[in-house]
Amino acid sequence: MPPRDIALRLARAFSIPLVLGLACLSSPSFARPMHAIAMQGEPKLPEGFDRLPYVDPAAKTGGAMRYGVYGTFDNLNPVIVRGAATTARGIWFDPEFGNLVFEPLMQRSPDEPFTLYGLLAETVETDDARSFVEFTLNPKARFSDGKPVRVEDVIFTTDMMKIPGVVRPQYTDWLSKVARIDRVGERGIRFTFNEKADRELPLLLAGLPVLPEHGFDRATFERSTLKPVIGSGPYIIDAVEPGRRIGYRKNPDYWAKDLPLKRGVDNYDAISVEYFRDANAQFEAFQKGLFYVYGEGNPRNWQTSYDFPAVRDGRVVKEVFQTGKPAGTYGFFFNTRRPVFQNREVRAALSLLFDFEWANANLYYGSYKRIRGYFENSELSSVGRPATDAEKALLARFPEAVTPDVLAGTWAPPVSDASGSDRGLMLKAVTALKAAGYTFSGSRMVGPDGRPLAFEILVQNADQGRIALGFSRTLQRVGVDAEVRQVDDAQYQSRKQAFDYDMLIAPFNGTLSPGAEQRGRWGSVSANAPGSFNYAGVANPAADAMIDAMTSARTREEFVAAARAYDRVLISGQYLVPLFYIGEQRLARWSFVKHPATLPLTGYYLPAFWLDRE
Q: Characterize 361-376 residue by residue with b for buried, 16 or more Cβ atoms within 10 angstroms of its Cβ, and e for exposed.
A: eebbeeebebbbbbbb
Whether residue 6 is predicted with pLDDT greater than 80 in this model: the reply is no
- For 72-106, what is each residue's pLDDT tens digit? 999 999 999 887 778 999 999 898 999 999 999 99
Whether residue 18 is predicted with pLDDT greater than 80 in this model: the reply is no
Evaluate whether residue 383 is within a structural domain.
yes
Whether residue 5 is predicted with pLDDT greater than 70 in this model: the reply is no
The pLDDT-based confidence of 392 (bands split at 50, 70, 90) is very high
Q: Please state the domain count of the chain.
A: 2
Nearest CA among 484, 520, 519, 477 for reference residue 505 = 484
Query: What's the CATH code of the domain at 28?
Result: 3.40.190.10
| 210 and 349 part of one domain | no
- For 35-73, what is each residue's pLDDT tens digit? 999 998 899 999 999 999 999 999 999 999 999 998 899
| 215 and 348 part of one domain | no
Looking at 220, 254, 287, the residue that finishes a domain is: 220
Evaluate whether residue 33 is within a structural domain.
yes
Phi/psi class of residue 514: alpha, beta or left (left: φ > 0; alpha: ψ in -120 to 50)? beta
| 205 and 335 part of one domain | no
State the DSSP string of 126-143: E-TT--EEEEEE-TT-B-
Sheet hosting strand 270-276, strand order edge to edge: 64-70, 270-276, 245-250, 235-241
The pLDDT-based confidence of 519 (bands split at 50, 70, 90) is very high
CA distances from 604 to 31, 286, 383 (A): 36, 19, 28
- For 112-146, what is each residue's pLDDT tens digit? 989 999 999 999 999 999 999 999 999 999 999 99
Evaluate whether residue 291 is within a structural domain.
no
Query: What's the CATH code of the domain at 461?
Result: 3.10.105.10
CA distances from 511 to 52, 167, 325, 383 (A): 20, 23, 6, 17
For residue 351, the one-letter residue type is: S
Are 546 and 568 a contacting pair, CB within 8 Å? Answer: no
Alpha helices in 422-510 (DSSP H): 423-435, 462-477, 489-497
Query: In this structure, is the dihedral angle defined by the CA atoms of residues 411, 416, 420 and 425, taken in order, positive or negative?
Result: negative
Q: Give the relative orientation of helices 3-14 and 19-26 as an angle to the nearest 10 degrees.
A: 160
Instruction: Report pTM.
Output: 0.79
Whether residue 454 is predicted with pLDDT greater than 60 in this model: the reply is yes
Looking at 186, 220, 254, the residue that finishes a domain is: 220
What is the reported pLDDT for 220?
94
What share of the chain in percent tops pLDDT 90? 81
Looking at 174, 194, 220, the residue that finishes a domain is: 220
The pLDDT-based confidence of 7 (bands split at 50, 70, 90) is very low
Q: Are strands 576-578 and 64-70 parallel, antiparallel or unpaired?
A: unpaired
Nearest CA among 273, 280, 207 for reference residue 240 = 273
Domain hosting 405: range is: 329-581
- For 565-588, what is each residue's pLDDT tens digit? 999 999 999 999 999 998 889 999
How far apart are alpha carbons 600 and 158 in whole angstroms?
A: 31
How far apart are alpha carbons 522 and 375 in whole angstroms?
A: 14
Evaluate whether residue 293 is within a structural domain.
no
Contacts of 351 (CB under 8 A, 6+ apart): 413, 414, 574, 577, 578
- For 269-314, what is each residue's pLDDT tens digit? 999 999 998 889 999 999 999 999 999 988 889 989 999 999 999 9
What is the DSSP-derived secondary structure letter of residue 477?
H
Work out the mean pLDDT of the chain and round it to a whole number: 92
Q: Which of 102-106, 253-257, 525-529 has the lowest mean pLDDT?
A: 525-529
What is the reported pLDDT for 16?
37
Q: Are strands 454-459 and 503-508 parallel, antiparallel or unpaired?
A: parallel
The pLDDT-based confidence of 378 (bands split at 50, 70, 90) is confident
Evaluate whether residue 452 is within a structural domain.
yes
Q: Which of 8-17, 65-74, 596-605 has the lowest mean pLDDT?
A: 8-17
Mean pLDDT of 342-358: 97
Are 380 and 564 a contacting pair, CB within 8 Å? Answer: yes
Contacts of 243 (CB under 8 A, 6+ apart): 72, 73, 74, 275
What is the reported pLDDT for 30?
54
| 212 and 338 part of one domain | no
What is the reported pLDDT for 83?
76
